[in-house]
Amino acid sequence: MSASSENINDSVLPLLLQNTDQDLFTRLNIGVIYLDEHNRVLCSNKVLSDLTGFTAEDILSPEHTEPDFSSREDYASLRDFFLSSQPLGKNGKSRKFRLADKHGNLKCLMCDVFSFPDKCKSKCGKICIIRADASQYTYENDYSFDEDKIENMYLREKVLSKLGEKALSCNNINILMDYALKTAAQALNVKFSLIMELLQDGKFLMRYGYGFSEWCVGSALVDKDLGSPSGYTALIGKPLVVDDMRTEDRFFIPRFLHEHNIVSSVTVIIGDRSYMYGVMCIHTDKQRKFTEHDVNFLQSVANILAEKIKLRDSFKSLELYRNLINQSSDYIMVLNAVTKKFIYVSDKVFQDLGFTEAEMLDQDIFDPGCFINGHDMHELIGNVAEDGDLVVEFELLAKNGLLIPVEISFSFVEDEGIAYIVLIGRDISERRILEHAIKERAKQLEYSNEIKNMFADVTSHDLIGSISLIEGFAAYLEELETDDEKKHLLGHVVSSTAKLKKTIDSAAVFAKLNCASDMSIEELDLRLLYYSALERLLSKVSEKAINVEFDCPRQCDAHINPIIEEVFYNLLSNAIKYSPDSGTINVAIKQEVSKWKVSISDEGPGISDEDKIKIFDRFRRADTSHKSGHGLGLAISRMALKCHGEDIHVEDNCTGVGTTFWFTVTVAGMSES
């Protein structure tokens, strides 16, 4: 309300504000002027100035208003009308006046004057109501105000206010629905009211009813289509008024309405077309012309119920989410991104940390004493804001001083323009224990490998030293010996010691490969490694007159360890060993996308399918072999290639004679490492 510039009676104004529902006039776009017992302006509402552009004193001035020509009677101005003893015109309708605004435009006003309501303690003075000319509306009588209508509108506003309060306080939706139907029927002075719920199968069910027979409630069904008043209202999304169902030919009237002799009705939607609960209807058993105020009131009741239903469904979903969250074994916390204060903490946090909800929500995440510690939170929140999400390990400080290691994921979530930071933490105490155990086990394994490697080095060094001494003395005695038989025996000793030295060398290499998890990788030319291995075997090649053919590109750079030379050596040695005299060995290096494929083929007796499976095991050879050796070469080759992430393969030659061994390594420049 806005007061006039003079004649303000401070004791009367509060009385007016307490006993008149000002929101009613505002929603109906009605201007109000209060006059005291001396016809002086006490106050007026804001709608008055919005509607006319003038103050209350200007409107009452004869200079600005004059009677409408179509209703000229006894009053020269609006002020004369307000001061008259007869508040209404002789025909019982509101008085029309014209108002010339500051720009010279004419506005038509509908005016009424009433005494203060009986409920006011002070009955002196008048209430002057100013409205725009409403003659364009269908229900003309609805806009002619009298004291009964004022009282009726006041009552309806109180009903809506009380229904809103009950909707907020009542958790039982059934009680609220029954209350709404009863109060709406009484306020509108009708005999029947009902609520039809829209079911999933597309039909309406009378879920609640007032004034109807008991058998109708919970059983009466109506189709959702244009053939029924309920379906029509739901489909168009607007209120429907039926003046006389007896002559209505647009709809099929349900049987239960006929049985109750329903004549007139109003149907409004509960919710909207995107979130519809159903429809609300009022009915009479006598013909009645419902006004627009009646329809608006019923729609207001339906809107209150719709909001309550949405709120109930939201609470159901919220309660479900809360239960699911509290069943989780994770720590879930939500921060307001602006205030950086906790607004939600799951029960798991309270249980494990020992804080109360009040103590937890009062914590400041930037406070060094906060239960989350271990990082600079200012920097971390900044990183989350920049990257969107982040996973960091923290320690949660319990109330008793216990530290709980956790892994927390931070993420930003926005809802209705408000940003939140969601923290989801997981207890990693068991993981920390396992990680510690793994580290300890790794140290033990590393120590064991070092011992194993040292043992292999010491053993091979000592054995080779002793064997070399035996070999030297045996060779010396062989040179001195003149007896052919003894000389032959000493020759066997020399050759056996040489084989033993080779076996020890191979075993030492294999032992080191078995623990080379961090083998160094270099860029080397496969051709050079091949030539180096072949040079070591030239004497054997010459002895058997073997022909070695080599096919490769000009450059074969690969990411490998120099031990690949031992692979070449072992495969060539086997090929020479099992090839016939004057046979041919084919060696080829070809590029296949990002790999070099190395193949070595011989013309030997071949290997059975049964033996192909086990020839790569230590100290295992093909059963058909009658050649010398200890079965370590292929095992060493496979282990060397496995350290490169590769493997060695064996297959029969396509000619049906001999065997092919092949392996692959990474082409230089084609690997990330």
Segment 618-641 mean pLDDT: 64
CA distance 65 to 54: 11
Which of 427, 446, 478 marks a domain boundary? 427
Segment 350-365 mean pLDDT: 84
CB 132 within 8 A of CB 107: yes
49 vs 416, more confident: 49
Residue 168 shares a structural domain with residue 226: yes
Segment 334-339 mean pLDDT: 81
Provide the residue type at 358 as one letter: A
251 vs 140, more confident: 251
Provide the residue type at 419 as one letter: A
**Helices (DSSP H) in 68-122: which residue ranges?**
78-83
Q: CATH number of the domain that 60 lies in? A: 3.30.450.20
pLDDT at 416 over 50: yes
The per-residue b/e assignment along 218-248, b for 16 or more CB within 10 angstroms, e otherwise, is eebebebeeebbbbbbbeeeebbbbeebeee
Residue 237 shares a structural domain with residue 134: no
Q: Where does the pLDDT of residue 531 fall: very low under 50, low under 70, confident under 90, or very high at 90 and above? A: very high
Phi then psi dihedrals of residue 166, to 5 deg: -65, -35
CA distance 175 to 440: 67
pLDDT at 4 over 60: no
Phi then psi dihedrals of residue 367, to 5 deg: -75, 130
pLDDT at position 332: 85
pLDDT at 544 over 70: yes
pLDDT at position 23: 56
SS3 557: strand
pLDDT at position 280: 94
Written in H, E and C, the secondary structure of 516-535 is CCCCCCEEEEHHHHHHHHHH
Provide the residue type at 641 as one letter: L
Residue 271 shares a structural domain with residue 160: yes
- State both tokens at 661: 């061994």
CB 22 within 8 A of CB 45: yes
606 within a domain of the structure (yes/no): yes
pLDDT at position 673: 38
Residue 440 shares a structural domain with residue 502: yes
CA distance 574 to 615: 12
Query: pLDDT tens digits, residue range 242-285?
Result: 988 888 877 788 888 888 899 999 999 998 877 888 999 999 99
Give the H or E element holding residue 41: strand 41-44
Beta strands in 145-257 (DSSP E): 192-198, 203-210, 221-223, 240-242
Q: Where does the pLDDT of residue 549 fall: very low under 50, low under 70, confident under 90, or very high at 90 and above? A: very high
State the average pLDDT for the chain.
78
CA distance 361 to 483: 103
Residue 311 shares a structural domain with residue 193: yes
Segment 478-496 mean pLDDT: 82
Q: Where does the pLDDT of residue 150 fall: very low under 50, low under 70, confident under 90, or very high at 90 and above? A: low
pLDDT at 121 over 70: no
pLDDT at position 16: 44
CB 526 within 8 A of CB 598: yes
CA distance 270 to 304: 9
Q: Sheet harboring 192-198: ordered strands across?
A: 221-223, 203-210, 192-198, 275-284, 264-272, 240-242
Instruction: Report the relative pairing of strands 648-652 and 203-210 from DSSP bridges.
Output: unpaired
pLDDT at 517 over 80: no
672 within a domain of the structure (yes/no): no
Q: Where does the pLDDT of residue 147 fall: very low under 50, low under 70, confident under 90, or very high at 90 and above? A: low
Q: Residue 2 forms beta bridges with which residues?
A: 44
pLDDT at 317 over 90: no
Instruction: Report the relative pairing of strands 221-223 and 95-100 from DSSP bridges.
Output: unpaired
pLDDT at position 62: 65
Segment among 153-167, 235-249, 389-403 with least mean pLDDT: 153-167
pLDDT at 138 over 50: no
Segment 19-40 mean pLDDT: 68
Q: Where does the pLDDT of residue 69 fall: very low under 50, low under 70, confident under 90, or very high at 90 and above? A: very low
Residue 87 shares a structural domain with residue 179: no
Sign of the dihedral defined by the CA atoms of residues 448, 449, 450, 451, in that order: positive
CB 412 within 8 A of CB 389: yes
500 within a domain of the structure (yes/no): yes
CB 567 within 8 A of CB 561: no
389 within a domain of the structure (yes/no): yes
Give the H or E element holding residue 487: helix 484-513
Which of 385, 409, 427 marks a domain boundary? 427
Segment 363-389 mean pLDDT: 79
Instruction: Report the relative pairing of strands 595-601 and 659-667 from DSSP bridges.
Output: antiparallel
| Whole-number percent of the chain with pLDDT over 70 | 77
Q: Residue 423 forms beta bridges with which residues?
A: 333, 410
pLDDT at 85 over 70: no
Segment 648-652 mean pLDDT: 91
CA distance 313 to 357: 26
pLDDT at position 527: 93
- State both tokens at 618: 């230590």
Q: Where does the pLDDT of residue 8 fall: very low under 50, low under 70, confident under 90, or very high at 90 and above? A: very low
Residue 197 shares a structural domain with residue 291: yes
636 within a domain of the structure (yes/no): yes
Q: From 196, 170, 199, select the one nearest 181 (Cα to Cα).
A: 196
Residue 366 shares a structural domain with residue 295: no
SS3 624: coil
Q: Where does the pLDDT of residue 192 fall: very low under 50, low under 70, confident under 90, or very high at 90 and above? A: very high
CA distance 410 to 161: 44
454 within a domain of the structure (yes/no): yes
Q: Where does the pLDDT of residue 93 fall: very low under 50, low under 70, confident under 90, or very high at 90 and above? A: low
673 within a domain of the structure (yes/no): no
Provide the residue type at 160 as one letter: L
Residue 216 shares a structural domain with residue 312: yes
- Give Dmax (Cα) for the chain: 167
Q: Is 61 exposed, middle or buried (0-12, 13-18, 19+ CB in 10 A)?
A: middle
pLDDT at position 132: 72
116 vs 364, more confident: 364
Domain count, the chain: 5
pLDDT at 631 over 70: no
pLDDT at 76 over 90: no
pLDDT at 519 over 70: no
Long-range contacts of 215-221 (CB under 8 A, 24+ apart): 216/256, 220/254, 220/256
14 vs 53, more confident: 53
pLDDT at 160 over 50: yes
| Whole-number percent of the chain with pLDDT over 90 | 16
Residue 272 shares a structural domain with residue 202: yes
Q: Where does the pLDDT of residue 124 fall: very low under 50, low under 70, confident under 90, or very high at 90 and above? A: low
323 within a domain of the structure (yes/no): no
Which of 286, 318, 350 marks a domain boundary? 318
Q: Where does the pLDDT of residue 389 fall: very low under 50, low under 70, confident under 90, or very high at 90 and above? A: confident
Q: Locate tokens 């909207």: which residue?
A: 272
Say how many Å lie between the first and final Cα of the chain, rounded: 80
pLDDT at 123 over 60: no
Q: CATH number of the domain that 645 lies in? A: 3.30.565.10
Q: Where does the pLDDT of residue 22 fall: very low under 50, low under 70, confident under 90, or very high at 90 and above? A: low
Residue 103 shares a structural domain with residue 49: yes
Residue 548 shares a structural domain with residue 653: yes
Within 10 Å of residue 554's Cβ, how many Cβ atoms? 6
Q: CATH number of the domain that 457 lies in? A: 1.20.58
Q: Which domain holds residue 24?
A: 2-145
Q: Where does the pLDDT of residue 664 fall: very low under 50, low under 70, confident under 90, or very high at 90 and above? A: very high
